[in-house]
A and B are shown apart, each in its own frame.
Chain A
Amino acid sequence: MLYFSRWKIYTIVAICVAGFIVMLPNFLGRETLASLPSWYAHSKVSLGLDLRGGSHLLLEVDMSAVIRDRVEGLVDGARQQLRTANVGYTAINAGDRAVTVQLRDPAQSEDAVKALRGLASPVGGGALGGGQPDVTVAASGNTVTVTLSEVALRDRATQAIEQSIEIVRRRIDETGVNEPTIARQGTDRILVQLPGVEDPDRVKRLLGTTAKMTFRLVDTNADASTGRAPPGSEILPSAEGERFQTNYVIRKKVEVDGATLKNASASTNSQSGEWVVNFEFNSAGANRFAEITRANVGRPFAIVLDNKVISAPVIREPITGGRGQISGNFSAATANDLSVLLRAGALPAPLKVIEERTVGPDLGADSIRAGLTAVAVGFVMVCVYMIASYGLFGSFACFALLINLVLTLAALSLLQATLTLPGIAGVLLSLGLAVDANILINERIREETKKGRGVFASMEAGFSRAYSTIVDSNLTTAIKMALLFIFGTGAIKGFAVTITFGILISMFTATVLVRLMMVTWLRRTRPAALPV
């Protein structure tokens, strides 16, 4: 245990030097960093939102709305299929995840089943096709039930969340936030981290809007004040807030879908000076829009956003250029937001913010300062104790502790791990735990010396006997921290990370490095007794 081959010594020294070089950019000023090659300048610990300031939002996709949408689609589909197959029915009802059809004539149930099977589309198949039908059709008496399969539900959910993430990303990119993190969490959640965002109000508003835009005709034959809409129409409120609320009777049929929009931008109207949103269709949308406006000149045409009527202007002439303008009491901010939403596209389902954690940049800076001070104070106190207790060997342990800090920082920088406030607490705690190994070794050497062994024999025995204890005690801590990392969330994970690094690295610094120092000292001075 006391012999170090030459290459071993070089390796140990090289690891320490490499660690120092890797963690150095953390302490360099901006100008110095700019003059360094970028691969090196980027070797920095990334700070968590609680240290650099920013907003953490957890969003939940409303999966019940996704499934409700699909069931409603099935109802429409069933109606059409039955009509083409000439099957009479008395009612079609939408359930939780199934559609039930009451047939007029039970004898037609076989035809009905055959027709409704046409609703199925395969899901879950690979690139070579295959997969299973997404609905099952069953008949009993004069009732036929179309049920969405488990696979279909899962497939829908996956699709919905993937689409949502894409839309969320586009919307956030529009707001100009630097380095946002957008990640899927679990089956129906999206984690959004926005560094530097102090008031996430606007982002929350943008993400909280589904932005499903449709162009539909106003039902001019019905009166909204009666409160009842004729079949095929529905009553929708205007978007102008509660005080000026007016209701419209709007046809359910979507004439042009917002998904066919190509571009949107906010500007002021040159005549009235009010804020408007200009939009532009893609070619399919433009054709459809021209067709509709040509056929309905003189009639009001409603622009509906998330089931609210933004405006319902009367069509004066056919609009063939594929461009249009929405006006509706916008302010600069709301016009801008709407154009962002239209550009980014609609969410497949509503999103809810279910968790927000925002830290201002000042508080973050304060936390960093407090954390660094705490680490410095803790380090000094531990060192004073170690040197007071073990003299020279104590100072070896302190040097090893310093290298431990350097290597921990280097590991964090290298692995691009995130340092959080609890992470700093982990660094502090691992200071105390790391010297445990040195205390064990020193106490052991002391005992062996007292038993009357010689200098080298005591050292040899001290290290080898203490080693299994050190491994045992560090492994138990590592198990704990692994669990904390798996089940913990957010900032707490950072605690597990730093403490694990601290402990693993201490296996190197507190034993190998300290042993090298002790042995070198021993060979140089050849003392008659050990200073423990």
Chain B
Amino acid sequence: MFHLRLVPDNTKIPFMNGRFAGLITSAFLSIASIILFFHPGLNYGIDFQGGIVIEARTPQAADFVSLRHSLGGLGMGQVALQEFGSPQDVLIRLERQPGDDAAQQVAADKVRATLAETLPGTQVRRVEAVGASVSAELFANGMLAMGLAMVAMLLYIWFRFEWQFGLGAVVTLLLDITKIIGFYAVTGMQFNLTAIAAILTIMGYSINDKVVVYDRMRENLRIYKKMPLRDLIDLSINETLNRTLGTSMCTFLSVIPLALIGGEALQDFGIVLLLGVFIATTSSIFIAAPILLFLGENRLRRGTPEAAGPGNPATTP
């Protein structure tokens, strides 16, 4: 009976030969991402920066020239118009209006009125207007959630495995996340609450993936007591390769529809998740494992329960 295999059984790919190449590529990409984060920076959405987004459907194909003219004439700073989905669907973005939180509401009402005047029959499908104090709070909460998630992951893995695993996983996570943020900076995608949700999801997925590979390493550490750590890591990765790729494939397949037909709100989310699944899968192999190799070369074996009997406490001299 034929069964689809993403990689043949009994692969013996020496992944650890590529450990420097993997780490250097990853570090390079992450450093580039950090630079991009500061310059040109992220395109913060209204959740985090305040401002107004209005989604409208015009009766005929939208007349961008007159729309830009009439909205630009309101004196409300830069007005970004964007077509999406169909020529009748327009997304209008206004930067945060000077003044207090209530000023956003006034501006949103003005745009509504102008739309009704310039293009009669226009249907306003969505309005979001967020003031500065709300957006500052949302941003703080988002960052807090990410930070806490990171700490929680570290503690969890530390508790379940030895500290080398926890540190390896968290460093890998940091490298993963910086790349995602770099992606937001390069593409100019809106960085908003959905982006935080995407990043948290990718963190969860990435840790998930690391846990499976680490689990196998721990198991093999008990079985093959004499095998050098480097070979043992390679063996563990190869043994779990079909699972790693299979789960990535399934997640990929389930997210693809989101990226294709998710609508304005979820399309970006889907695209970032697809990228995240890719990054998380490769980082399990090329980042998390080499870090573990460097951290644990001489120490890890001592930490296994078999080696550390009651009369032989696991302390490093």
**Which chain A residues have a beta carbon within 8 Å of chain B's beta carbons?**
50, 58, 60, 198-199, 201, 204, 208, 352-360, 362-363, 366-367, 370, 373-375, 377-379, 381-382, 385-386, 388-391, 421-422, 424-425, 428-429, 431-433, 435-436, 439-440, 443, 447, 450, 465, 468-469, 472-477, 479-481, 483-484, 486-492, 495-496, 499, 531-532
Contact = CB atoms under 8 A, between A and B. Distances in A.
A443 B133 CA distance: 51
Contact of B101 (A60, A357, A358, A473): A60
A406 B205 CA distance: 24
Interface in B204-223: 204-205, 207-209, 211-212, 215, 219
A513 B136 CA distance: 46
Contacts of B160: 472
A357 B128 contact: yes
Nearest to A378: B254
Contacts of B193: 488-492
Contacts of A367: 263, 265
A230 B256 CA distance: 73
16 contacts: A354-B102, A355-B101, A363-B55, A367-B263, A367-B265, A378-B253, A378-B254, A381-B253, A382-B250, A421-B266, A425-B266, A432-B247, A447-B239, A476-B156, A488-B193, A488-B197
A385 B250 contact: yes
Contacts, number: 232
B259 to A, nearest CB: 9
Nearest to B128: A357
A422 B207 CA distance: 22
B252 interface: yes
A377 B252 CA distance: 12
B250 A370 contact: no
B124 interface: yes
B22 to A, nearest CB: 23
Contact of B208 (A198, A204, A391, A473): A473
A391 B9 CA distance: 17
Contacts of B291: none
B258 interface: yes
A191 to B, nearest CB: 11
A373 B256 CA distance: 12
Contacts of A476: 153, 156, 204, 207-208, 211
Contacts of A204: 105, 109
A389 to B, nearest CB: 5
Contacts of B204: 476-477, 479-481
B256 to A, nearest CB: 7
Interface stretch (B37-45, B71-79, B142-150, B181-189): B142-150
Given A58-B134, A422-B197, A358 B126 contact: yes
Contacts of A385: 4, 246, 249-250, 253
A356 B105 contact: yes
A436 B134 contact: no
B174 interface: no
Contacts of B55: 363
A531 B2 CA distance: 10
A522 B253 CA distance: 30
Contact of B149 (A58, A422, A480): A480
Contact of A374 (B112, B242, B262): B262
Contact of B200 (A360, A439, A469, A480): A480
B253 A483 contact: no
A433 B266 CA distance: 19
A363 B125 contact: yes
Nearest to A388: B4
B201 A429 contact: yes
Nearest to B266: A425
B273 interface: yes
Interface residues of B, number: 78
B273 to A, nearest CB: 7
Contacts of A378: 253-258
Interface string B117-158: 000000111111111011000100110110011001100100
Contacts of B13: none
B17 interface: no
Residue from B108, B112, B253, B266 having most chain A Cβ neighbours under 10 A = B253
B296 interface: no
Given A60-B101, A475-B156, A443 B246 contact: yes
A450 B257 CA distance: 36
A447 B247 CA distance: 17
A469 B215 contact: yes
B269 A443 contact: no
B270 A425 contact: yes
A352 B201 CA distance: 34
B11 interface: no
B226 interface: no
B1 interface: yes
B257 A374 contact: yes
A391 B1 CA distance: 8
B197 A436 contact: no
B230 interface: no
B247 A436 contact: yes
B194 interface: yes
Contacts of B100: 352
Nearest to A474: B208
Nearest to B148: A483
A492 B47 CA distance: 12
A300 B215 CA distance: 87
A386 B134 contact: no
The 10 closest A-B pairs by CB, nearest first: A432-B251, A354-B101, A432-B254, A374-B257, A487-B145, A480-B204, A381-B253, A363-B125, A378-B254, A388-B4
B263 A440 contact: no
A489 to B, nearest CB: 6
A203 to B, nearest CB: 12
A356 B128 contact: yes
B243 interface: yes
Nearest to B101: A354
B11 to A, nearest CB: 13
Given A429-B273, A480-B200, A356 B108 contact: yes
Residue from A362, A378, A389, A425 having most chain B Cβ neighbours under 10 A = A425
A358 B141 CA distance: 22
A352 to B, nearest CB: 5
Nearest to B102: A352
Contacts of B57: 362
A447 B201 CA distance: 30
B239 A356 contact: no
B250 A360 contact: no
B212 to A, nearest CB: 6
A86 B152 CA distance: 66
Contacts of B149: 479-480, 483
A60 B134 CA distance: 10
Contact of A439 (B4, B123, B250): B250
A479 B127 contact: no
Contact of A432 (B101, B105, B253): B253
Contact of A477 (B1, B208, B270): B208
Contacts of A390: 3
A391 B5 CA distance: 12
B24 interface: no
A19 to B, nearest CB: 21
B258 A472 contact: no
A367 B85 CA distance: 13
Contacts of B123: 360, 362
A425 B57 CA distance: 24
B123 to A, nearest CB: 7
Contacts of A469: 211-212, 215
A507 B246 CA distance: 19
